[in-house]
Amino acid sequence: MRVFGVVGRCAAKAGVVSRLVQAAGAQGLSVSTIKRVNDEVDLDRPGTGSWGHRKAGAREVVLASGTRTAILREAAEPQDEPDFPALLAQMTPVDLVILEGFRRSLYPKLEVVEPGQDRRLLALDDPSVRAVICAAPVAAPVPCLALEDTAGLLAFVLAEAVAPV
């Protein structure tokens, strides 16, 4: 199993991750993802039985059907960043795990930059950012890769992905 991240202060990173997953699958690789979400995101809905279980104090609620399983686990205490190594340890082994949005991880990553973005590049301060993905060239201390070149992006990811630490 190898790990690589996609970060950026824009919505385009989700599309990049989806394209990478599809392209890797087309090459016969097994892929899983871990997506960093806002603390307000909740997969459960008020009024459902599982929501009631959580509100009553259940530490974990497993939602399971014949086609999908989700584990909703309440953190003992709020954290700045999810415990990535613990999440990874719970996953079924695959060829590649793509992280979306874990800026603080030390794993190698691509930074997605949308046209006209006026924010400071993460690549300027983070040595784990190995390249910038952009539709138009930007001044960066790392290579700029074409946003629409999915094959090239996947080749870069596969060359730079590392084993979990």
Instruction: For residue range 5-58, list pLDDT tens digits in order.
Output: 999 987 789 999 999 999 999 999 999 999 887 656 667 788 888 889 988 989
Rounded Cα–Cα distance for residues 158 and 153 (Å) = 9
Percent of the chain topping pLDDT 90: 53
What are the backbone dihedrals phi and psi of residue 74, each rounded to the nearest 5 degrees, phi first? Answer: -80, 135
| Distance spanning both ends of the chain, measured CA to CA | 11
* Mean pLDDT rounded to a whole number for the chain: 90
| Count of beta carbons in the 10 Å neighbourhood of residue 158 | 16
Among 67-71, 74-78, 99-103, 130-134, the minimum mean pLDDT is found in: 74-78
**Architecture label for domain 2-36+81-160:** 3-Layer(aba) Sandwich (3.40)
| Count of beta carbons in the 10 Å neighbourhood of residue 40 | 5
Locate CATH 3.40.50.300 in the chain. 2-36+81-160
Read off the pTM.
0.87
Comparing 122 with 80, which gets the higher pLDDT?
Answer: 122
